[in-house]
Structure formats: structure tokens, C-alpha cells
A and B are shown apart, each in its own frame.
Chain A
Amino acid sequence: MKQHDNDDLTFISIDRKIEKAFIAIMAIAVTIPLVIMVMLLIDTFIDGSGRLNVDFLTSFPSRFAESAGILSPLVGSGILMVLTALFAVPVGIGAAVYLEEYAGKTRLSSFIEINISNLAGVPSIIYGLLGLGLFVRYMQLGRSLLAGALTLSLMALPMIIIASREAIRSVPRELREAAYALGADKWMTIKKIVLPMSLPGILTGIILSLARAIGETAPIITIGALTYVAFLPDSVMSPFTALPVQIFNWISRPQTEFHINAAAGIIVLLVVMLLMNSLAIILRYRLQRRIQ
């Protein structure tokens, strides 16, 4: 009997040791991504901060690494983002409202749902091939800003729909029913109650999707963005380049001076992303407080 108790105790103490070891392993697993993120930032900053100055932001790309800048890629990315938002946001919100408020549990609506979930997982480069085949060739838009923005907006669409649906779903049903009880019809309820209430979530989703879209390189390269643009676009039909494409171009050159430019470009890109993410957080916080 005594012997038995001892066995149980050793058993428990071994279990405890295993659990402690497991917690240590988990702590390491959680730390690794954080360490890597810090290393990535420090590494890029050390490489690129020397090149980062006003001239870098206001000069065109050049054959000479020291005098090359990111003016045209930066402007290209800015216009791309505005156009992408213009195309993708209304359609995305519309689709989300339809799926949450109008679509019943029909076969069609569940098909649309599977379809959107699949589209969100389609590799971005496939959207590039779609843009190349559909916009650049078939619709004859050429390698223009418009073709690029349309391609990016198709890519951003599923993300915007998914985020907007979640925001709309979080509006309590009682509020809708209260509006109906007061005699509002469906659209008025959506316009006056559902959309304003879900606005913080929708806006956050939109900003994050747009940040993702302008960070994309592969689809823009596939539709044929130029890698050397020494002019500013004068219309939406103008050829263009974008910041990530310029960074990729500099990385793929053998000379290390261009790698330094790439690092400086990355810092700018990351700062833009950081600003957009902060904006999303601030907007969400402000708007949520106003509603409450």
C-alpha cells in the first residue's frame, strides 16, 4: 500500500516536470516571432537608415544607387490605393450587406459564401494573371494604373467583404427589431441603424485590406508594372510603378548599394503600413466611443 502511494507521487512529480518543460517550450515558441520581428526591423533599419533623407523621397529612380529615389513608386502606390478603394469599398460593403441582411439560407448564398472564402485564399499572383488576361489584354487597358488598381481591388474584395460581414453581424438583433417596430423598412433600418453601428468594424477592415493591397508585389509585377519609371503618371491610363515593385527591383540587383536603397524603401513602406494600422485603431476607438 505504502509502495503504491510512492509510485503515484513520483508519477505526479514527473507529470509536473513535463508540464514545466512544456511551458518553457511554449514560452520559447511565443518569443521567437517577437525576436524575429525585432531582428527584421533592426536589420532593415541599420541597412537603410543612412539612405533615408528628403532627396530619397523626392528623386526619381536612377541607374546610380546614390542618387536614386522613390518619388514615382510612392506616387504610384498612392494613386493605386485611392483607385483600389474607389472600386473595392462600395462593392465590398454592398456584398456584405446582401449576404448578412438579404440572403436567406439558400443554396446560392452558401455557394457565394464558399466562393468568397476560397477567393480570400487564392494566391495574389493568380489575381495578377487574372488582371493580365482580363484587364491588360482583353479589355485593352494596357499596363496602366487603372489595370493595376482593378486587379488589386479584386484581390482586396474578399477581405473587405469578410471584415464587413463580421462588423454587420455584431450589431445586436434587438436594434433591428426596434427599428422595424417603429415602422422602418429594411433598407431604412440598414441605412440608419446597421451601417452606422458597424462602421468602426467596416472601416478598420477596409484600411487593413488596403494596407495589405498596397504592400502586394506579385500581382503588380504580373500585370506588367514597370521597374524603372522616371516620370509621374498623368492619367489613370499611364504606365506606373509601385513601391514594393521598386524595392523588389533593387533587391534583385547584385550590387549592394542598391540593397541599401531597398532597405530604405522598406522603411518607408513599413512606416506607411504602421500609419495605416494606427489610423485603423484610432478610428475604431473614436467611433466606438461615439456610438456608445
Chain B
Amino acid sequence: MMKTEQQELFTKRTLTERWISAVLFACAAVSIAVTAGIVMVLLFETKEFFSKVSFGQFFLDTQWTPLFAQKHFGIWPLFVGTLLTSFFAMITAIPMGLLIAIFLSEYAPEQLRRILKPIVEILAGIPTVVYGYFALTFVTPLLQKVIPDLAGFNSLSPGIVMGIMITPIVASLSEDAIYSVPASLREGALALGSTRLRAIRYIILPTAFSGIAASFILGISRAVGETMIVAIAAGQQPILTFDPRVPIETMTAYIVQVSLGDTPHGTLEYNTIFAVGSMLFIITMIFNLISFYLRKKILKGYI
């Protein structure tokens, strides 16, 4: 039986359609390949690392000196360094971000909100190397006037500057969460004679809690992975200390330090940056996933 012209056109169309959807699927699949690539590269080099260094040396030692003759591979100094800078970042970003979010969503008139929001978000778009310069040449000297024995490299100043960079992320996600609280709940509280502040404290914030928590967690993940600010202003001395005034080294700064030198492929020094990178990847991925599910909860409409 001869195919009619229409049928032919139809088959042709179906074929093109199939081709196109296959190509588009391949594009989407690239994202899975990227994750697989990250995991494979990290796993491969980290396995290499742990074939030369035992888990005990990595997790139980308190010294990190892989670049010296007397080699120690204790991750704790780098981990605590990251913890310190992230802590100062979060005690800066959480209150500021949350206050900005409440102000923009509950108090600011629409026009002011439309002007302020993009301005605050510019802060998140400034390259981190610029913040590093700002921390080293402006914030540290400024803080030294208040804290005289603050070293030129320390964890306090880059921590605070990192917090400023993270503030828009916390503010923007928290604002989305607060915005998604139904107006009926807010109006119900006000109708019962509550002040606006009480409505925020007892109705809006608890209702938006999971979204706000998601913004904090994403902020922590950003702080842990932030590299240039700490590489520039926190120093390169992996000392196990909780003193915010002295130089330290974070996990990310260590990777930069090794990358700047010419470390030959296959050496133990080369492997260490992947081992540290694996730690970093696992920590940030856990935070990212928690944050993702908390945000999903809002979208599903939990109210």
C-alpha cells in the first residue's frame, strides 16, 4: 500500500521529534555525567592517597604537614580552620540575612523592596577575590584598631567578610520562605489583635521555618566551600587552634596553596588535595541535600 503524503509527513515528523528529544535528553544527562566525573576523580585520587596514608593518620593525627620533611596527615587543623571561618561567616550572615528578609517581606513598601532587593543581591555577585582584597587591606587593619593583637592573617576578618558575601543568599531564600506564608495566617493573627511583630514571631517565622533553615544551611555550605577570601586573608598555617586572632589554614586554602606550587602528578602531595577535596565535597553535598529537601517541602505546600 502506498503511503499518502500526509502519512509520510507524519512519520518524518515523529522521527525528527524522537531525534530531538534524544539530543535534549543527552544535554540533561551531562549534568549527571558531571557529578559522576567529580565522584570518580575524587574517589580515584583519594584511594591512591589512602593506599599510602592510613585512615588513622588522616583522622586521628592533629598535625597537617604534608609539604614538610616530617610529614603528618591529620586533617583536623584544616577542618577546624574551615569551622572557624564558617562560624564567623554565619554569625554575621544569619542575623543580618534574616532581618533583611523580614524587613523586605513584612515592612518595606513594595517600591522600596523593588529597589533594595537587587542592590543587596549585587553583594553575592562580586568576585570573591575582590572580597579577599577587601578583607586583607581594609577589614583586618580596621579590626586591628579594636583588637590590637590581631595578626595580619587571621580567621576573624575573612570570616566576617565571607558572612557579608553570604548575607544575600540567606536573605533571598528566607524572604522567599516568608513570602510563601499564606496571607490568611498573617491576617488571622492581626485580626485577633496581635501586633505585627508578634505575628512575625509566633506565626510567620514558625510557619516559614523550614525555608529559613534551608537558607541557613545553604549559607553554611557556601562558607565551607569558599576559597579565595580565606586563601588571601586567613593565612596558610595549618595550626589546630580556636583562636580567631592567629593565622590558620582552611581546607580550600590548602588546595590553592598546593595548586600554586608545581606539584608533579602522582606524588603524595598531589593526592592530598584530592583527599581534602573529597572531605569538602562530602560536607557540602550533605548540606546541599538537606537544604534541597527543606525547600522542596515549601513548594509542596505543607500548610
> Which residues of A pack against B, CB within 8 Å?
15-16, 18-19, 22-23, 25-27, 29-30, 32-34, 36-37, 39-40, 43-44, 47, 90-95, 97-99, 102-103, 111-112, 114-119, 121-130, 132-134, 137, 154, 157-158, 161, 185-187, 208, 211-212, 215-218, 221-224, 227, 244, 247-248, 251-252, 259, 262-263, 266, 269-270, 273, 277
Contacts and interface: CB of A to CB of B under 8 A. Distances in A.
B59 interface: no
B136 A161 contact: no
Interface residues of B, number: 84
Interface in B233-262: 252, 255-256, 259-260
Contact of A26 (B29, B34, B99, B127): B99
A130 B226 CA distance: 17
A273 B127 contact: yes
Contact of B35 (A32, A115, A185): A115
Nearest to A248: B129
14 contacts: A30-B120, A40-B130, A99-B28, A112-B32, A123-B224, A123-B226, A123-B227, A124-B225, A126-B281, A215-B125, A215-B126, A218-B227, A273-B125, A273-B127
A247 B281 CA distance: 27
Nearest to B289: A118
Contacts of B47: none
Interface string B2-13: 000000000001
Interface in B131-150: 131-134, 136-138
A123 B128 contact: no
Nearest to B13: A185
Contacts of A221: 256, 259-260
Interface of B: 13, 16-17, 20-21, 23-32, 34-35, 37-38, 41-42, 44-45, 95-96, 99-100, 102-104, 107, 116, 119-120, 122-123, 125-134, 136-138, 164, 167-168, 195-198, 218, 221-222, 224-228, 231-232, 252, 255-256, 259-260, 265, 273-274, 277, 280-281, 284-285, 287-289, 291-292
B22 to A, nearest CB: 10
A98 B21 contact: yes
B99 A29 contact: yes
Contact of A216 (B35, B127, B281): B127
A269 B35 contact: no
Given A29-B99, A30-B103, A129-B255, A122 B24 contact: no
Contacts of B21: 98, 102
A23 B81 CA distance: 36
